[in-house]
Structure 1
Amino acid sequence: MNDPSEEGDAARKALAEHPSDEAEKRRQYVAANRDRIRELNRLWRSEHLDRARELNRDSMRRAAARRHREAEVRARGRERAKRWRVEHPERRREYQQRWVAENREKVREYYNRYYEAHRDEVNSRAAARRDADPERTKQITRQWAERNTERRAELQRNRRSDPEIYQSELEANAAARRLKRSLSRAGLPPKRIHLATAAERRANERDADAYFNDPSRPEHLRQFTVFAESLTEHMLKNGARMREFAEAYVSSRARVGLPPVSVEDVVYARAIEIVAERMRRVDLLTGRDVAAAVRSTKAAVLRAERQRQFEGLVRGITAHVHSNRARLSLESKMENQARVRVGKPGEPGESLVVWLAMREIVGRVPISSLSMEDVRNAVHIARLHFLTSSQAHRRAGDDQTHARWVGR
């Protein structure tokens, strides 16, 4: 079997002498003898494996060199084009504008094709541009609306052509008018609604995603919960003692001429330090977390102090009424007589007794955390205690009288 390289040389020589005829004959021969050519090539490769591999390597080297040359040519062309664009920005811009103007349909097709393939990415980039400059976005929207009044009206008509949408808008408008009239008749200000823009809604969604998808969030919440509960428990248990220490510390600072500080700040700074030292982990707590825990603790301490003062006032009134029942009853009768003389209506004796007792002990019982409503509630509860005890006292007197009559 002949060497394919020699046959190839002969074929190339004949092709050079008669290019059109030889090429046509070769195409016809190849088309008519594909299987035979394939079999001959396979047999020659099996008999001349080393030569076939050498020819294959040569072919691959030529192909690699050709690709390398083509890549260099393309790179040089790109570099020349880049330099030209940098050196002639105006001509580049004019060319782009001219090409776009001459190929509107093609540009629209390119854009639609890219948008279909990258819809989410395009929308996210557009939303990011709008969010980066909301004022510019509002201005563009307003200008578009001014330029396209008819288009806006058409869009609104198309939207309201749906009976369900139109009916829902009518009902919403009617409900808003009824609410406005009701608030006006009641002397209340109109309802205030903050309309969140799309940029604000997207920002809120990003913040929510960052908050709820944070893998450290469960541990963060655990640390905050334990810290807040421990701080509240510590202040409820040791608040009075720590306040005495803080007052002494502030006084000592004032004596040596240091700047004044708040007693509350000293108390809670020390409490935070103590609670943080006792906890196992506080590495995820932030300054906002500590401030929120302090606010929660202050509210809990205030509620506890308010409840303590309320119960102390009720006990004080009740005890004072029981200890001075006769005197307070006499004074309540005198008070009612004085009210009748000046033309005022009288009050039930039990109520006057309780109010007189409250006025007498109010200077001795702490009520700094109580409101007037709390004081009224305390007086009401003390009055109920007084009525209950009075009824029990009357029943005991009736039983004694009945026993004496029975004994006779």
Structure 2
Amino acid sequence: MNGPFDEDTAPRKALVNQPPDHDQVIEKAGRSRQPDRHAETRRRWVTENRDRVREMNRRWRAEHLERARQLNRDSMRRSTARQRRQAELRDSGRERAKRWREEHPDRVREYKQGWVEENREKVREYYNRYYANHRDEVNARAAARRDADPDPDRTKQAHKQWAERNMERRAEVQRIRRADPEIYQAELEANAAAKRLKRTLSRLGLPPKQLHPATAAERRTNEREADAYFRDPALSEHLRQFTVFAESLTEHMRQNGARMREFAEAYVATRARMGLPPVPVENIVYARAVELVTERMRRVDLLTSRDVAAAVRAAKAVVPREERQEQFDRLVKTVVTHVHRNSARFVVDAEMENQARAHRGKPRVPVESMVVQFAMQEVIERMPTNRLTVEDAWTAARIAQLHIATSFEARPDTVDNPIHRPSIG
């Protein structure tokens, strides 16, 4: 701020083109004899009259605008020149120090080693403070250095040797960590759960839980690959193509799987007659299905071999399950319809069977159970049930029996025995 009343100037009146009077001469002489006292008086007066100083400076600037601008320009030039001189001085000092270090590397190394030896505590304090402020950066650099090691076994061996040399320190770290009640309780619960799982698997005759140990470097590599995959800008289109391809492949196999398997079996038989190596039928079926589905899709440019393999695995898992459910529902519906259409014949056959059982000294079977059994045996012979198991047939018979139970009158002389499991052809 330029003006007659700056905060570092004395409080005085603006006297322009006026000769100094006697009082001013005496005041100036007093200021020269006691500069410290006068400076303190100036600072106190400026502090107590901030608004007045600001107003007087504003009026002076308004009355002497060109002079204020010139003072500002002169001040900026002096400041710029001073900063340039200081920068040149610093640069020249750095250059001289750099040349000296290049000319005397042994002395520099000796000085650094000596300083570190004399200031161990200070160096440790610097390192701890830097690590506290840049923990993530330090850990990231260390992890990158370990990941770039061409011999990971050497790193493992170094860690093992360090652990053997610092057993007491590791034990102390573990004690400090387990001093937290929550951490200690979590570890106890995890150990107990692992033991329970091991005992359960052993009682069931199953193998123990198999774990694939992964090193920290492998986990970081997997995380980087996953991050690169999910940050890919083409991921949305890639996922769309994969989803459409997987759904189309599954639907195609559901609709045309039987016909394609017949063709594949004939092709395999032809190869066998020609003396060619055998090829699995499923490989031929899914290879042809993939070819047909990709020809019908609009875009498949982002699909990879891994995507195709994943879609094939999904189809192999989904198609049999859906075919099994479809055969199960059709079996239940067909059995119920067959019973309703032939109920009279089945009832007569059931009565004859119960009479034969009574003649052999066996208990009677509920009529509806026997009717369902007869109908199940006739239906299974003329419809595909290759996806169903014996347990599925038994469950279908129970459901069909519930559907037709209202069609038969309860008989007081029957015994509610479980239905016999029919055999699936």
Normalising by structure 2, report the TM-score.
0.58
Shift of 1:200: 4.3
Aligned to 1:123: 139
Percent of aligned pairs sharing the same letter? 57
Q: 1:349 to 1:101 in 2, by over 3 A?
A: farther
Q: CA deviation at 1:229?
A: 1.7
CA drift at 1:245: 3.5
Quote the Cα distance in structure 2 between the aligned partners of 1:225 and 1:178: 38
Q: For residue 319 of structure 1, report the CA deviation from its aligned partner.
A: 4.0
Alignment of 1:229-268 (within 5 A): 229-268=247-286
Q: 1:66-119, CA deviations, whole angstroms, 9 ceiling, x for partnerless residues? A: x9xx99x969x96x999xxxxxxxxx9xx9799747743568739838868875
The offset of 1:134, in angstroms, is: 4.9
Equivalent AA in structure 1 for residue 395 of structure 2: N
**Which one is further off, 256-265 or 367-376?**
256-265
Seen in structure 2, the aligned counterparts of structure 1 residues 344 and 197 have a Cα distance that, compared at 3 Å, is farther
Deviation at 1:378, TM superposition (A): 1.6
Q: Distance in 1 between matches of 2:359 and 2:250?
A: 55
Match of 2:382 among 352, 360, 364: 364
Equivalent-residue separation in structure 2 for 1:183 and 1:262 (angstroms): 38
> Which residue pairs with 1:228 in the alignment?
246
Selected match of 1:296 from 314, 331, 337: 314
Contact 1:184 1:190 in 2 (8 A): no
What is residue 104 of structure 1 aligned with on the other side? 117
Is the 1:180–1:190 contact (alpha carbons within 8 Å) kept by the matching residues of 2? no
Query: Separation in 2 of the partners of 1:305 and 1:157?
Result: 58
- What secondary structure does 2:339 align onto? helix
TM-superposition CA deviations, 1:127-162 (whole Å, max 9, x none)? 23444455444433333333233333433344445x
Contact 2:177 2:183 in 1 (8 A): no
- Alpha-carbon distance change, 157 to 301 in structure 1, aligned in 2, over 3 angstroms: closer
Could you say which residue in structure 1 is the equivalent of 2:323? 305
The answer to whether 1:273 aligns with 2:291 is: yes
Give CA deviations for 1:291-327 in whole Å, capped at 9, x if unaligned: 1112222333323322332233224423443444334
C-alpha distance 184-255 of structure 1, shift in aligned 2 (>3 A): closer
1:328 matched to 2:341: no
Q: Is the deviation greater in 192-201 or in 350-359?
A: 192-201
Supply the AA of the counterpart residue of 2:396.
A
Answer yes or no: is the 8 Å Cα contact 1:316–1:365 preserved in 2. no
Query: In the TM superposition, what are the counterparts of 1:132-151 in structure 2 within 5 Å?
Result: 132=149, 134-151=152-169
Amino acid aligned to 1:227: F
TM-aligned CA distance change 1:265 to 1:183, over 3 Å: closer
The answer as to 2:188 corresponding to 1:173 is yes
1:389 CA displacement: 3.5
Q: Which has the higher helix share?
A: 1
8 Å Cα contact 2:368-2:408 kept in structure 1: no
Match of residue 221 from structure 2: 203
Q: Give 3-state SS (helix, strand or coil) of 1:346's partner.
A: coil
What number of residue pairs does the alignment pair up?
A: 307
CA distance in 1, matches of 2:353, 2:347: 10
Contact 2:116 2:123 in 1 (8 A): no
Q: What is the correspondence of 1:58-97 to structure 2 with a 5 Å cutoff?
A: none
Query: Distance between the aligned counterparts of 2:171 and 2:262, measured in 1?
Result: 73
1:126 Cα shift?
A: 1.7
* In 2: Cα distance, 1:291 partner to 1:208 partner: 19
Is 1:377 the counterpart of 2:390 in the alignment?
no
- 1:340 deviates by 4.9
CA deviation digits over 1:243-296, x for unaligned, max 9? 344344444444444333333322222221222122222111111111111222
CA drift at 1:192: 4.5
Three-state SS of the structure 2 residue aligned to 1:210 is helix
Shift of 1:336: 3.4
Q: Is the Cα contact below 8 Å between 1:312 and 1:365 reproduced in 2?
A: no
- Structure 2 Cα separation of the partners of residues 117 and 384 of structure 1: 72
Where does the alignment leave 5 or more consecutive residues of structure 1 unmatched?
1-62, 83-91, 392-408
Q: Distance in 2 between matches of 1:118 and 1:170?
A: 32
Letter in 1 for 2:123: E
TM-score between the two structures when normalised by the length of structure 1: 0.60
**Separation in structure 2 between the aligned mates of residue 304 and residue 139 of structure 1, nearest angstrom:** 52
Residue number among 223, 230, 253 corresponding to 1:212 in the alignment: 230
